[in-house]
Amino acid sequence: MKKLNIYKIISFVALIVLFFILILPQTYNVNKKQKTEQCIKNMTTIYKAIKSYMNEREENFEGTARDLMRMNYLKTTYECPEKGVGDKYFMRGDFETGEIIVTCPNHDKFEDHVLPESLLE
C-alpha cells in the first residue's frame, strides 16, 4: 500500500475547495444582488436609447435592442444576466404619451428586476 504524503493531502483539499468555489455561486445564486444591479443598469441604458430615438425621430419605437444598435443608439444588445444567453428585454416607446416600457424577461421570477421610479417620472 502506498503511503499518503502531505502533497497528496494538500492537492486533494485544494481540489475540493476549487470545486466548491466554482459550484457554490451557481447553485445558491450568491451574486444575486450583482446580477440584479446589472439587469437594472441594462434596462436603464435601453430606456435612455429609446428616449433618444423618439426625441430625434419623433415617432414610436417598436423594435428590439438590435434595431437600436443598428441605428447607433446602443453599442451592444443586452440580455438579463440572471439566466444567460437569449433573455432579451421587452421594449417599446409611445411618442405621443412619452411612455417607454422596458421589461426584464425574467421579471416573473425576479421581481426586483424593474426600472427605478425616478427614471420613469
Q: pLDDT for 76-107, tens place per residue?
A: 888 888 876 677 899 999 999 999 999 999 88
Q: Which residues, other chains included, contact 112 with Cβ-Cβ below 8 Å and sequence gap of 6+?
A: 36
Neighbours of 102 (CB within 10 A): 24
pTM of the model: 0.72
Neighbours of 49 (CB within 10 A): 24
Query: Lowest-pLDDT range, 20-24, 28-32, 85-89, 108-112?
Result: 28-32
Q: Which of 106, 120, 94 is nearest to 35 (CA)?
A: 106
pLDDT averaged over every residue in the chain: 86
Please give the residue that has the higher pLDDT: either 31 or 74: 74
Q: What cell numbers appear for 4 in the block? A: 499518503
